[in-house]
Amino acid sequence: MYKHSLALLAVAAAVSGCSTFENPADYLTFRNEPLVKQVDHGMTQEQVRTLGGPPSSDVRNSVTGGTCNNYVLNVDGLEQPYYVDFDVNGRVDSKGFMTCEQHQGNQRKRL
């Protein structure tokens, strides 16, 4: 049943036109990491950095005008990119298991 659900999710993401989608297995693996578990919509950049430390990189979001932080999560030797996107007021707008660049690519496709 679980494998069937993952397959349906992958097909739905492909059909919806997203070039990059999040793998539900990533959430299971990294769910207890502070950035995943504790960062919420509307938090400030300072609050996020207190939880997750300095990002690997901090880039301007060319789609929204805000900024985006790239992180690399590491659990038991498994590494996974993770982004936290901030609006123009410096508040968390979104987060997920991809890079800022992949996230911005998805945003452009939705416009």
The domain limits of the chain are 27-109
Residue 9 pLDDT class (50, 70, 90 cuts): very low
Cβ neighbours of 102 (radius 10 Å): 19
Nearest to 100 by CA among 53, 67, 75, 78: 67
pTM of the model: 0.78
Tell which CATH architecture fits domain 27-109.
Answer: 2-Layer Sandwich (3.30)
Q: Give the tens place of pLDDT for each residue, 55-85.
A: 999 999 999 999 999 999 999 999 999 999 9
